[in-house]
Chains A and B, each alone.
Chain A
Amino acid sequence: GESVGLHLPTLSVQEGDNSIINCAYSNSASDYFIWYKQESGKGPQFIIDIRSNMDKRQGQRVTVLLNKTVKHLSLQIAATQPGDSAVYFCAETRPTGFQKLVFGTGTRLLVSP
C-alpha cells in the first residue's frame, strides 16, 4: 500500500545513534506543542508535549526542546532503534479557535540496523 511520507524530508541514521528532528512553527502566540509519530497505515501517535512556559521536557528516550525566540521545536531521540522508523510531525495549538492542532510538514526518519 501507499506510504505516508514519500515526499517528506528524510533523516537517515544508524541504529544506536541519536536523532534530532527539527520543526519551525509559524505562530508566536501558540502555547502548546506536541510531537507525533506516524507509522505507515496508522494514525498519528502521541510522543511528547511541551507548554510554552517550558523550554525542555524529557520522556523515555525522547527530549523536546522549545525555542520561542526563533519559533523552533526539536525532538531528540536517544539510541534510535529500527522501530523508531516513521514520519514525525510537530503540531501547535493556537490559543483561539477550539483548541485545534496545526501540523508541521513532517520528517521521515529511517533507521538502519
Chain B
Amino acid sequence: SAVISQKPSRDICQRGTSLTIQCQVDSQVTMMFWYRQQPGQSLTLIATANQGSEATYESGFVIDKFPISRPNLTFSTLTVSNMSPEDSSIYLCSVRVGSTLNTEAFFGQGTRLTVV
C-alpha cells in the first residue's frame, strides 16, 4: 500500500495567479499520476510523472498550463498556472505500487481549488 499526502488540502485563489500542489508518498514509486476532478464529474488524467524524465501529458493538457516536477521517487508537484474560474476543481495525486503489472492505484485526499 501507499500513503499519499497532498498540500494544500484546499485553497481559494485569484484569477491570473498560480498554485503549486505538493504530493508526498511514504514509499518510492516509479510512476505518479495527476488527475483533475471537476465539480460533479469523474476523474480525468492530466499527466503521468516519471522520475528523471519529462511528464507525459494527456490530450487537452499542456505543460505550460500544468507544469509538473518529479525530483525524486517520493515527491511530485503540479502547478496550475495563470488560473481562471474554469480551473476550479479537485486535483488528485495518485501512485501505483508493486513490481507487477495491474496493481491498484492509491490516491491522495485531493486539493480542492476555487478560483475567483
Q: Do A and B come from one complex?
A: yes
A residues contacting B by CB (< 8 A) are: 1-2, 4-8, 31-32, 34, 41-46, 49, 51, 89, 91, 93, 97-106
Number of A-B residue pairs having CB atoms within 8 Å of each other in the complex: 73
Looking at the assembled complex, report how far the CB atom of B3 sits from the nearest CB atom of chain A, in whole angstroms. Answer: 11
Chain B interface, >50% SS class:
strand
Q: Once bound together, how far apart are the Cα atoms of A42 and B111, in whole Å?
A: 9
Q: How close is B81's CB to chain A, nearest CB, in angstroms?
A: 23
Interface size on B, residues (CB 8 A): 29
Q: Which of B74-116 contact A (CB under 8 A)?
A: 90, 92, 94, 96, 101-102, 104-110, 112
Closest to B35 in A: A103
B45 close to A102 (CB less than 8 A): yes
- Name B88's closest neighbour in chain A (CB-CB): A2
Instruction: List the A side residues contacting B106 at CB < 8 Å.
Output: 46
Closest to A101 in B: B105
Q: What's the nearest-Cβ distance from chain A to residue B101, in Å? A: 6
Q: Is the CB of A1 within 8 A of B112?
A: yes
Binds A, one of B14-22, B36-44, B62-70: B36-44
